[in-house]
Structure 1
């Protein structure tokens, strides 16, 4: 079991799956800046992150629910949790709001699965599915929280924790998705991968001796 001080923010898992260096810049160097995409996402979440509850025909809806798992050492906030007790079989559905469209990678899925792990521990239940509501499509997308996704989520938790313990910033690697990253100018992934930069840094810190 982890202590409260050892809990990892769940959002770091999403950052790690999207880009390990982005996660490191945020978690190790406390570096972050917003762009149009991140700002729109923040505004999109403002409403659902306000703590609130309502009941509708046996459906208990909780918004902005704080969650934690001391078994896995993670914590965060669920945008929306739907609890259906009306059928006699308690069904719990975590719902994550995203401003854009479904991603090609599994970063969002891992984030949602981590939320489910917390809810399972807190409510002593098993959660088979989670859902996304994407602002761009205005539709809910249901996903299965299967064994493969759970294993991937636990691997991500372990990887982020190992990075924090080592204190080593992951190397930069330029990919097309870098163009949408708010840390592009600070990260400089293209420069990080060039021999020219390495030569410049070597000459800067190892100037030639006089007379040579």
Structure 2
């Protein structure tokens, strides 16, 4: 399937969706957002990474920041924090640059590596966009975590790519329906910036309508 540009979803939403489908819908469908310390720190980190005026050359590595990417096959668009183009005889040519180059996307995240794969999925989607735009193969990238000050290497396996495709297909379906999934309460809810909007404690009731009716009853 090829998506029209007006139907593209935000690439960054894949990370939200992988973390919590309800959080993604609240942000991307209902347009709700609240800041907390984690989101502010993450925003500052990405602002530094997205300095589009910065174009560095370090030996055989060309570094571009805030590179816009998109994929009609996936129906997404967004920006890469950093893409390192590494000199490689098996790479592609770049306008204004001599030689051949292989893209290596790098995503900047606050904190440390997480137990889920949300960050890896977002990075893999960036790589798939680069492949479509540049007609090349991007086999690996890295995530830089601010807490550990280290990179975590990510291999874009077939399994990871299929998971990206499946999640994006589900995201498009939910977006077209304008549907916000019900909450699935977990430990992650406490760290979510939207917990006061999501109300996970309230939504755990088996029958929310009955709960609301009971809460609104006026005692005689």
Q: TM-score band, normalised by the shorter chain?
A: over 0.9
In the alignment, which residue of structure 2 is the partner of 1:101?
112
Q: How far did 1:200 drift?
A: 3.6
Q: How far did 1:92 drift?
A: 1.4
Go from structure 1 to structure 2 and tell me whether the alpha carbon gap of 1:166 and 1:54 turns closer, same or farther (over 3 Å shift): same
Superposition CA RMSD, Å? 2.0
Q: How far did 1:4 drift?
A: 1.6
| Aligned with residue 80 of structure 1, among 79, 82, 85 | 82
The number of aligned residues is 208
Q: How far did 1:15 drift?
A: 0.6
Are positions 1:154 and 2:155 aligned together?
A: no
CA–CA distance in 2 between the matches of 1:21 and 1:192?
Answer: 12
Gaps of 5+ in 1: 208-212
Are positions 1:114 and 2:125 aligned together?
A: yes
Are positions 1:188 and 2:189 aligned together?
A: no
Q: How far did 1:193 drift?
A: 1.2
2:84 partner SS: strand
CA–CA distance in 1 between the matches of 2:215 and 2:162?
Answer: 45
Gaps of 5+ in 2: 92-101
In the alignment, which residue of structure 2 is the partner of 1:137?
148
Q: How far did 1:50 drift?
A: 1.5
Residues 87-144 of structure 1 show CA distances to partners (whole Å, capped at 9, x for unaligned) of 3222211000001101111111110010001000111100110100000000011111
Q: Provide runs of 4+ in structure 1 moved above 4 Å.
A: 203-207
Q: What is the TM-score when the length of structure 1 is the normalising length?
A: 0.92
CA contact (8 A) 1:173 1:190 kept: no
| Aligned with residue 68 of structure 2, among 63, 66, 69 | 66
